[in-house]
Structure formats: C-alpha cells, structure tokens
Amino acid sequence: MSQPTMNLEPVADHAPLEIDDQEHDAAVLAPIIERDGEDHLLFTRRADHLGEHPGQMSFPGGGAESFDDSILDTALREANEEIGLEPDEVEIVGQLDDIRTITEYAVTPFVGRVPDREYVGDGYEVAEIVVLPLSGLLDPENYEYERRDHPYYGDIVIHYFHVDGYTVWGATGRILVQLLELTTEFEPPERVERSRR
C-alpha cells in the first residue's frame, strides 16, 4: 500500500486571499518533509512560558519586522530563528489564504518543501519540534471539530487533529485544513459530536 503524498500543484496555482485590516502582520511556513516515502509536516510546540498561545502547536513563524523585505522574508527569517532552517534550504511551493487571529494578527501562510534532517529549536520560543505524518493527519479517527463564536467571523468551526499525542488546532488547524483540502482528498466530516469544554 502506497504512503499518502501531497499534490502541491493546487498550492502553486492558488491565488491567496490577503487581509490588510489587522493591527499586526505575521507569516508562517508550513514545512513539508518527505520521510520513508510519505509526506510529513513539521510543527513547533510553543514554550509554556510565552504570553501568546503557550504550549500550542504551530508552524514556524512570527511577526513581521520593519527590516523584512517582504512577508515571505518574515516567514523564512522566523523559521531560521526558531528551528535553524536556512532560507536556501526551502523550496517555496506557494501561499495559502491569510487568516485573522484573535490577537489581531493577519497571518500569511507559505508552503515549502524542506530537507529531512534534524532541526533544533531556539531554546526560548520553541519547546519541541514535532514532525507528524500525513497519514495521521488524514486519519478520520484523529479529527474532530466544534463550533465557537469568533469576535470577527461570528460562528466558526475549530478543527482538532490529534496525532501521536499532539493536538493541532486554532489558527494552525485552520491553515492545516486549507492545505489538506488543496493537496489531498481531505474533507472535514459534516458532523462530529464534541462537547464544549
């Protein structure tokens, strides 16, 4: 049985929606690693001491700085700072739709292939580097959602991916859903029972 892979052509062809009405700009990189014939995604687990989103799973990235030449440069700089990924190691495939966060950021997600090597966290923002297999992210048994009220969007769906003891959700979950919908046969189930906590 062949391992699942991502068809990245729809990402390369995607015309992303851009958001320009938030107080801050940020960018992330969704790094794709091919390992043992299967695509994997690299995430970071944010350190517990951070003020925003402590302990959560995220893609490498962060806020734009005045010295960044572009929002792509922001994503590459942050990935370098957080996990030691050199910009010239990244094969950028494309860009996903911007998303708004509850912390008033417009986040621009980029997708890129990166080498399968050991990455080292920065020791401050990054508590752990986690590489999750596409097969686990696509397993319907590992996915659930709930509805919540968002201050900007109103009634929204929060996606949860539970893989290998980690949970990807929130803004990263929204980015992941679009990436999986563009590159695989993934479709979120219409109904999943989940009690609000």
Q: Give the separation between CA 57 and CA 136, rounded to whole angstroms.
A: 15
Q: What is the pLDDT along the chain (197 residues), one digit of tens a residue?
A: 567 889 999 999 999 999 988 889 999 999 999 999 999 999 999 776 555 555 789 999 999 999 999 999 999 999 999 999 999 999 999 999 999 887 788 999 999 999 999 999 887 778 899 999 999 999 999 999 998 887 766 778 889 999 999 999 989 999 999 999 999 999 876 533 433 33
What's the CA angle centered on 32, arms 29 and 33, to 5 degrees? Answer: 135
User: Tell me, what's the pLDDT at 26?
Assistant: 96
